[in-house]
Amino acid sequence: MDKTVLLESKIESLQIVEKIIDEILEIYTGNNGLYGNILIATLEGIQNAIIHGNKYDPCKRVNLKLEINNDKLTVITKDQGDGFDFENVPDPTSPENLELITGRGIFLMKNLSDQLNFYDDGRVSELVFNLTGGIKNR
């Protein structure tokens, strides 16, 4: 299963993503225990692409691709921004960052997924989730 969606760089696009994840997980997974992790990590990735990558630019889009293959869900998000240094993101659990309102998105993505990778200078994020409950329908 592959699904690709081109999203506008506005926060309302998160509603579209939530609906897509709901539909895919209802059809393909037998383990709803993963729902929260997949939803939050994916929404964080899309939100980062909209806010930090594309900077809400209405001329820029976010490409979202979801693939289910061999009991794994891969979520690929690509923005049209300048990228970022994903190797040097501040740790939100450090005492100096605990009270900050922002800065937890990548931390959540990393800790809620089985794998997080960045490509193309940070413009592309790849989340991988093991669907341990198996796939109901192929």
CA distance 13 to 57: 13
**Predicted local confidence at residue 30, as pLDDT:** 58
Query: Which amino acid does the sequence have at 87?
Result: E
Choice among 8-17, 92-101, 114-123, 129-138 with the minimum mean pLDDT? 129-138
pLDDT band at 138 (very low <50, low <70, confident <90, very high): very low
Residue 108 has pLDDT above 60, yes or no: yes
Q: What is the pLDDT of residue 31?
A: 57
The mean pLDDT value of the chain amounts to: 90
Report domain extents, the chain.
2-130
Contact 14, 23 (CB under 8 A): no
pLDDT, mean of residues 125-132: 92
How sure is the predictor about 26, in pLDDT bands with cuts at 50, 70 and 90?
confident
Q: Which residues fall within 8 angstroms of residue 68, CB to CB, at 6 or more apart?
A: 1, 24, 28, 74, 131, 135
Ranking 4-8, 43-47, 103-107 by mean pLDDT, the lowest is: 103-107
pLDDT at 100: 73
pLDDT-derived band at 135 (thresholds 50, 70, 90) equals very low
Q: Please name the CATH architecture into which domain 2-130 falls.
A: 2-Layer Sandwich (3.30)
Model pLDDT, residue 133:
57
Q: Is the pLDDT of residue 110 over 60?
A: yes
